[in-house]
Amino acid sequence: MGDSMYRDDMCALFKRLWPISRSITGKGVRQSLDIIGQVIPIEKLEFPSGSSCYDWTVPNEWNIECAYVKDSKGRVLIDFHDNNLHVVSYSVPVNKTVSRDELMKHLNTRPDLPDAIPYRTSYYTEDWGFCIEHNRLSEFVDDHYEVVIDSTLQKGSLTIGEGYIRGSSEEEIFLSCYMCHPSMANNELSGPVVMAAVCDELRKRPLRRFSYRYIFCPETIGSIVYLSKYHERMRQRVRAGIAIQMLGIDHNLIFRKTRQGNTIADRAVLNVLSRRQPDATLMDWSPMGGGDQRQYTSLGINLPVVLLCRALNGSYPEYHTSKDNLDIISMDRTEEAVSIILEIIDTIEGNAVFENLMPYCEPQLGKRGLYPNTGGTLASDITRHYIHLLGWSDGKADLIDISNKSGYSVVSLRKAADTLCEHDLLGLVERDVD
Amino acid sequence: MGDSMYRDDMCALFKRLWPISRSITGKGVRQSLDIIGQVIPIEKLEFPSGSSCYDWTVPNEWNIECAYVKDSKGRVLIDFHDNNLHVVSYSVPVNKTVSRDELMKHLNTRPDLPDAIPYRTSYYTEDWGFCIEHNRLSEFVDDHYEVVIDSTLQKGSLTIGEGYIRGSSEEEIFLSCYMCHPSMANNELSGPVVMAAVCDELRKRPLRRFSYRYIFCPETIGSIVYLSKYHERMRQRVRAGIAIQMLGIDHNLIFRKTRQGNTIADRAVLNVLSRRQPDATLMDWSPMGGGDQRQYTSLGINLPVVLLCRALNGSYPEYHTSKDNLDIISMDRTEEAVSIILEIIDTIEGNAVFENLMPYCEPQLGKRGLYPNTGGTLASDITRHYIHLLGWSDGKADLIDISNKSGYSVVSLRKAADTLCEHDLLGLVERDVD
Amino acid sequence: MGDSMYRDDMCALFKRLWPISRSITGKGVRQSLDIIGQVIPIEKLEFPSGSSCYDWTVPNEWNIECAYVKDSKGRVLIDFHDNNLHVVSYSVPVNKTVSRDELMKHLNTRPDLPDAIPYRTSYYTEDWGFCIEHNRLSEFVDDHYEVVIDSTLQKGSLTIGEGYIRGSSEEEIFLSCYMCHPSMANNELSGPVVMAAVCDELRKRPLRRFSYRYIFCPETIGSIVYLSKYHERMRQRVRAGIAIQMLGIDHNLIFRKTRQGNTIADRAVLNVLSRRQPDATLMDWSPMGGGDQRQYTSLGINLPVVLLCRALNGSYPEYHTSKDNLDIISMDRTEEAVSIILEIIDTIEGNAVFENLMPYCEPQLGKRGLYPNTGGTLASDITRHYIHLLGWSDGKADLIDISNKSGYSVVSLRKAADTLCEHDLLGLVERDVD
């Protein structure tokens, strides 16, 4: 990724990941992780089929080579190689001739979106099926069809990609995106692409206060199996987390809070959005439609993980169809997501509590060279930073509070606070971490 | 009353109660209770004149046979039998010839509403008077008039109608409406009519959690004398109460909270109105204009009784005049009031606290047949019920909370919760009652 | 000042104070205090140059006789006697010929407001300078200029004017305005003029509950030196304070809260503004731009002092220039400020907590002559006062609370409460003072 511009690299990543057939297990996931692993360090964690994780069990590993439906004249009506959405994910192997009636029971279409191929799965019930454009049903006039799905569903493992960037503290900021869908762009490639750009930027920076852990996992079952193994460590270390998904379309950000609603993660996001995107949609926590945030914030887990996205399940017409392709991706919006997520992280990093060491009336800034000599003019921006910091720093308010009050970013307030510390006007309390 | 439709029966009740001359005591009240007693069980409680009740004393009983004013030619200018509003309620007996000047001192009109007969009372000061249309003052051209009021004001009793529907608990839901006005429709007959329909429906239902007590009492003095006798029992048993009045005109509901503002009564009403009538007027508690709610929620009494109505004192032009007649009653609105009050009661009945028994990540609903086998489609309504219940049931949130968050009614959530209980995914905590 | 009308007297005061050359020290301040001292009692407090006050030091006393700039033909281009804004406040003595280049370094203009003389100061850095209209720079065509500033900057003292009106309690209401600017009208003469009218009215009234202390001080350094000497006494006695400034222009009031935001001062202001000026601007506390409120509410001082004004620093175009003159003053607005400040003070004076002595249902007001004999009409204003007082007086709510609920002023509620006390229906708890 470029040092200051992630755009070209993100474009390239979108294009390389696009054609791969992914599901919640299998070679497609590992192949995708290998590609992302060329951008940021990733270790593959493998969880064997049959492993128990809370109320769930890791399913068998599914892989597919090809699949097609031919009519009685041998004409190929559906071909997996044309579009990997054509096959219901986790379809068991099939090789037989079926009647039109039976075929129809296994064909999924979207009558409301007749030229789109829907996306369907059957992870936990053994079945097979195809998905096609509703418009094309009229092509199926024969009485019998040859149906082939050359797939395997057997013991193997579920794969999660994980990376770690060490900071000065063991406390972690946790980033998660899911990666288990075949060729769809906003949901889901925008998640892994944005996450790769964010993490690439983070690892290039000088030593930071927090350590960072990021995972690419299959949705739902992936975060559940990860939590079942690492929940205790996460409970101890994760100070803030962001679940990242559906960030590529031209829509303002949607932010869903943690269950508590006032963790440092929530406060940092609200603070940054109030300046960067005041029209963003702010949602209280809800158990509906939050991707893996649902697992991270389930009652017994309850980690401080927020959700950032530009769409919820079904909130844009192309959702879960072949129309969710690279054409609906806005690179401006994708880049904006990276930039805002980085500022959220910088806000958590820079946040601290200070105490005014000269609290009786204002200190005389002028004699320290921190105030203009000539009076009568309006206060400059830097002077306003000083006055806000001195006025609010009661040993309890943190920089996020002061940013909310003053409108200045935590990053710029932190610089000014460090100057005031050098002049012994402020002292660092840093009550908010450790 | 009909099983599924209260409308015709309410119409009939309006018409039968309409002509009766009621006041805060007397035969008119008892006659009205007899009519309502044909619909729902009612016992008459009699409180003797002179009984002390807090700062008040039960007044003498007032009854009236007839009353008229004749001019010197013997022409009847005012006749009680034309409209029982013509006589000031509690007028002492009169039988004499008076000068025009003296008569005028005893005539009440509404110059701002010149073709309406105003409603006036003199319960606690011995006096007599007539009420007529302001327009008709010009007919009084003679020098002298014969004035007759054939009334009695003597020891007797004040009558309150009370009914009780036993539930499985002694805890009560208390319903109150006042009945002490002569022929006026919205204020007041709509109150007793709606109450009769609600109670008739409640007593036909299978055994319920709460017991129900309902009273029809004269306004102010009635609720005061009732409280002075039964306050301690009410303090122990009344879990929620609704004061019902002025529900017949074509206006959205007005809801006034209890003094505390967050009792189960308040929460149930707010919850139901948020779905059934989001444009309803929500008012914080106030000591002004709340009918008998004023007494139930006075400082020393402070019962959890809310007010439901469609008008406040004076908020519609026909208020307290002969124009408040059956023509201004909307049977759609009257019926809507019954239906909403019943849903409020069902909400209190159905409310409970549950606890998610499998709180680590989501449980796998699919293997229990509670989730569709094919993935990729949007969650159905019933699935959403399950996910909300599991997500919010932390052993503290009750179904009203979850209804407020999810938008689903307490009644439908309760059904889904019972299903999850059968699958051992939820457990009933029921912290909120007993 | 007139008994019922302050307007003429305020006009006269504006005009007498206008021409005087004031700064943070010097004869101009004392002369201004002498003029105000003819309206209300004022004692001059003198704080010697060099006195230490928290982080600051009282500067030398500055006085100026005359100042001018002449060109090489002896033509006077700038003359202090034309407008005392022409000289930078605290300019050191100068008497020399300077090149055009050097002169230009000492000339201040406002290019954005080319026909206005800006106001500039150099209190804490020894320097000299002139201020002129930007338009006039073109007149400076000569190579050399004679520059004379006949000022003195030497040991002396800083002067604060203070007055005291004794009430029945030692608890104080504190009023503060600053007086240190040369000829500018809204900022600042409107402050001292409004304060004089308010204090003149207060001292004419009968004995009050609170004592009143008011000061006229140079901005910032004045309140700092005053606090450094009297902070402990103020901490013990000041129950509420108002910093008064910039009240003369035609703009709604701006109210800035104390740091706590809910002191009796805040509550009284909010209560009065909600009725008198609902469109006023309400601001939470902030350390920016609050005149002397900044010092009174600094972290270590934290007195309950609110800010009332009609403008903030720089919020009107004439701010800190020669255009802030008497032409932009609205006497209607100046008078309104006096009237609202007096009602705020009356609200604090009249506020108290009562307890309903007959809390079981409503007391029967009629038998005490407090309720009309004829029923059926709407409640009158005075009846509503009684009902609100009885309904809300739980021994905790004070009259400001009841005013906020009922919409009636504290002053009129207090009168009604006193009547109810005479009838033993209310008892004074007065928990809110002492």
Give the closest-approach CA distance of A420 to chain C in angstroms. 15
Looking at residue C379, its pLDDT comes to 85
Strands A238-244 and A172-178: parallel
Q: Which residues of chain B are within 8 Å of residue A108 when distances are taken between CB atoms?
A: 374
- Which phi and psi angles does C350 have, rounded to 5°? -85, -15
Q: Which residues of chain C are within 8 Å of residue B108 when distances are taken between CB atoms?
A: 374
Between positions 334 and 393 of B, the ones with CB within 8 A of C are none
Asked if the Cβ–Cβ distance from B391 to A56 is below 8 Å, we say no
Residue A140 burial (C-beta neighbours within 10 Å; 0-12, 13-18, 19+) = middle
CA distances from residue B19 to A204, B183, C385 in whole angstroms, order as listed: 89, 6, 37
- Find out whether C280 and C254 touch, Cβ atoms under 8 Å: yes
Strands A254-256 and A281-283: parallel
- Find out whether B240 and B347 touch, Cβ atoms under 8 Å: no
Mean pLDDT of B231-247: 98
Asked if the Cβ–Cβ distance from A366 to C125 is below 8 Å, we say yes
Looking at residue A379, its pLDDT comes to 85
Tokens for C102?
A: 């050097």
Question: Which of A412-416, B370-374, C430-434 is predicted least confidently?
Answer: C430-434
Question: b/e per residue, A31-52, with b = 16+ CB within 10 A?
Answer: ebbebbbebbebeebebebeee
Give the closest-approach CA distance of C277 to chain A in angstroms. 26
Looking at residue B431, its pLDDT comes to 52
Mean pLDDT of B90-113: 97
Per-residue pLDDT for C5 more than 90?
no
Looking at residue B113, its pLDDT comes to 97
Asked if the Cβ–Cβ distance from C388 to B288 is below 8 Å, we say yes
Query: Which candidate, A161, A160, A129, places its Cα nearest to that of A58?
Result: A160
- Find out whether C218 and C90 touch, Cβ atoms under 8 Å: no
Tokens for C8?
A: 């003429």
- Find out whether A171 and A239 touch, Cβ atoms under 8 Å: yes
Distance of CA B3 to the CA centre of its chain: 22
DSSP letter, residue B115: T
Q: Which residues of chain A are within 8 Å of residue B427 when distances are taken between CB atoms?
A: none
What confidence tier does A431 reach under pLDDT thresholds 50, 70, 90?
low
pLDDT digits (tens, 9 = 90+) for C201-258: 999 988 899 999 999 999 999 999 999 999 999 999 999 999 999 999 999 999 999 9
Q: Measured between CB atoms, which of A120, A129, A224 is closest to B361?
A: A224
Looking at residue B6, its pLDDT comes to 82
Strands C52-53 and C56-57: antiparallel
Q: Measured between CB atoms, which of B360, B366, B392 is closest to A301?
A: B360
Share of chain A above pLDDT 70, in %: 98
Angle between helices A190-204 and A331-350 (to 10 degrees): 40
Give the residue on B whose Cα is nearest the Cα of C356: B299
- Rounded to whole angstroms, the Cα distance separating B134 from B132 reads 6
- Rounded to whole angstroms, the Cα distance separating B28 from B32 reads 6
The torsion of the CA quartet C24, C29, C32, C37, rounded to 10 degrees, works out to 110
Tokens for C53?
A: 């006050």
Which range, A425-434, B373-382, C216-225, has the best average confidence (pLDDT)? C216-225
Q: Quick one: how many helices (H) and strands (E) in chain A?
A: 11, 19
DSSP letter, residue B207: P
Q: Measured between CB atoms, which of C360, C373, C392 is closest to B301?
A: C360
Mean pLDDT of C47-62: 98
Share of chain A above pLDDT 90, in %: 94
Give the residue on A whose Cα is nearest the Cα of B393: A299
Query: Which candidate, B238, B217, B202, B223, places its Cα nearest to that of B342?
Result: B202
- Which phi and psi angles does B147 have, rounded to 5°? -120, 125
Tokens for C236?
A: 């013990």
Give the closest-approach CA distance of B373 to chain A in angstroms. 6
Give the closest-approach CA distance of A333 to chain C in angstroms. 35
Give the closest-approach CA distance of B272 to chain C in angstroms. 26
Per-residue pLDDT for C281 more than 60?
yes
Q: Which amino acid is at A23?
A: S
Asked if the Cβ–Cβ distance from B387 to A227 is below 8 Å, we say no
Per-residue pLDDT for A111 more than 60?
yes
- Rounded to whole angstroms, the Cα distance separating A35 from A10 reads 12
Asked if the Cβ–Cβ distance from B362 to A231 is below 8 Å, we say no
Query: Which candidate, A151, A158, A134, A128, places its Cα nearest to that of A46?
Result: A158
Mean pLDDT of A280-296: 94
pLDDT digits (tens, 9 = 90+) for B138-191: 999 999 999 999 999 999 999 999 999 999 999 999 999 999 999 999 999 999
Q: Taking phi first (over 0 means left), then psi (-120 to 50 degrees means alpha), and beta for anything else, what does residue C424 get?
A: left
Give the closest-approach CA distance of A412 to chain B in angstroms. 38
Asked if the Cβ–Cβ distance from B127 to C375 is below 8 Å, we say no
Give the closest-approach CA distance of B276 to chain C in angstroms. 28
Query: Which candidate, B404, B351, B348, B403, places its Cα nearest to that of B202?
Result: B348
pLDDT digits (tens, 9 = 90+) for A131-146: 999 999 999 999 999 9
- Which phi and psi angles does B342 have, rounded to 5°? -65, -40
Give the closest-approach CA distance of B252 to chain A in angstroms. 30
What confidence tier does C372 reach under pLDDT thresholds 50, 70, 90?
confident
Asked if the Cβ–Cβ distance from B88 to C405 is below 8 Å, we say no
Contact of A234 with chain B, judged by CB distance below 8 Å, is answered with no
Give the residue on B whose Cα is nearest the Cα of A296: B361
Per-residue pLDDT for C346 more than 70?
yes
| Rg value, chain C, Cα | 26
Chains with at least 3 CB pairs less than 8 angstroms from chain A: B, C
Q: Between vectors from CA B4 to CA B328 and to CA B10, what angle results, nearest 5°?
A: 30
Q: Measured between CB atoms, which of A373, A391, A392 is closest to C122?
A: A373
Contact of A115 with chain C, judged by CB distance below 8 Å, is answered with no
Asked if the Cβ–Cβ distance from B367 to A124 is below 8 Å, we say yes
What confidence tier does A376 reach under pLDDT thresholds 50, 70, 90?
confident
Give the residue on B whose Cα is nearest the Cα of A109: B377
Contact of C301 with chain A, judged by CB distance below 8 Å, is answered with yes
Helices within C205-263 (DSSP H only): 221-237
What ipTM does the predicted assembly reach?
0.94
Between positions 56 and 75 of C, the ones with CB within 8 A of A are 56
Contacts of residue A71, defined as CB under 8 A and 6 or more positions apart, other chains included, come to A77, A140, A141, A142, A145, A146
Q: Taking phi first (over 0 means left), then psi (-120 to 50 degrees means alpha), and beta for anything else, what does residue C117 get?
A: beta
Residue with tokens 């909403």: B340
Residue C98's DSSP bridge partners are C145
Looking at residue A4, its pLDDT comes to 42
Q: Which residues of chain B are within 8 Å of residue C379 when distances are taken between CB atoms?
A: 288-289, 313
Helix (H) or strand (E) run with residue A200 in it? helix A190-204
Q: Measured between CB atoms, which of A366, A375, A390 is closest to C287?
A: A390
Asked if the Cβ–Cβ distance from A376 to C119 is below 8 Å, we say yes
Give the closest-approach CA distance of A181 to chain B in angstroms. 10
Tokens for B127?
A: 């006096």
pLDDT digits (tens, 9 = 90+) for B112-153: 999 999 999 999 999 999 999 999 999 999 999 999 999 999
- Find out whether A227 and A301 touch, Cβ atoms under 8 Å: yes
Mean pLDDT of A334-348: 97
Asked if the Cβ–Cβ distance from B364 to A55 is below 8 Å, we say yes
Q: Which amino acid is at C290?
A: G
Question: Which of A287-291, A345-349, C315-319, C327-331 is predicted least confidently?
Answer: A287-291
Asked if the Cβ–Cβ distance from B391 to A294 is below 8 Å, we say yes
What confidence tier does A2 reach under pLDDT thresholds 50, 70, 90?
very low
Per-residue pLDDT for B106 more than 50?
yes
Looking at residue C107, its pLDDT comes to 97
Chains with at least 3 CB pairs less than 8 angstroms from chain B: A, C
Mean pLDDT of C102-131: 96
Mean pLDDT of C111-132: 96
Per-residue pLDDT for B433 more than 70?
no
pLDDT digits (tens, 9 = 90+) for B282-312: 999 999 978 999 999 999 999 999 999 999 9
Q: Measured between CB atoms, which of B124, B220, B320 is closest to C376?
A: B320
Contacts of residue C236, defined as CB under 8 A and 6 or more positions apart, other chains included, come to none
Asked if the Cβ–Cβ distance from C55 to A375 is below 8 Å, we say no
Asked if the Cβ–Cβ distance from B361 to A125 is below 8 Å, we say no
Asked if the Cβ–Cβ distance from A361 to C125 is below 8 Å, we say no
Chain A interface, best mutation among C89, C178, C188, C288, by max A CB count within 10 A: C288
- Find out whether B207 and B167 touch, Cβ atoms under 8 Å: yes
Looking at residue C4, its pLDDT comes to 42
Q: Which residues of chain B are within 8 Å of residue A227 when distances are taken between CB atoms?
A: 360-361
- Find out whether A222 and A188 touch, Cβ atoms under 8 Å: no
Share of chain C above pLDDT 90, in %: 94
Residues in chain C: 434
Chain A interface, best mutation among C23, C52, C53, C55, by max A CB count within 10 A: C55
What confidence tier does A5 reach under pLDDT thresholds 50, 70, 90?
low
Per-residue pLDDT for C433 more than 60?
no
Asked if the Cβ–Cβ distance from C299 to A364 is below 8 Å, we say no
Give the closest-approach CA distance of A387 to chain C in angstroms. 6
Mean of per-residue pLDDT scores for chain B = 95
Helices within B244-369 (DSSP H only): 264-276, 293-296, 331-350
- Find out whether B308 and B247 touch, Cβ atoms under 8 Å: yes
Give the residue on A whose Cα is nearest the Cα of C108: A374
Q: Measured between CB atoms, which of C377, C394, C405 is closest to B299?
A: C394
What confidence tier does C300 reach under pLDDT thresholds 50, 70, 90?
very high
Per-residue pLDDT for A167 more than 70?
yes
Per-residue pLDDT for B238 more than 50?
yes
Q: Measured between CB atoms, which of A359, A364, A374 is closest to C300?
A: A359
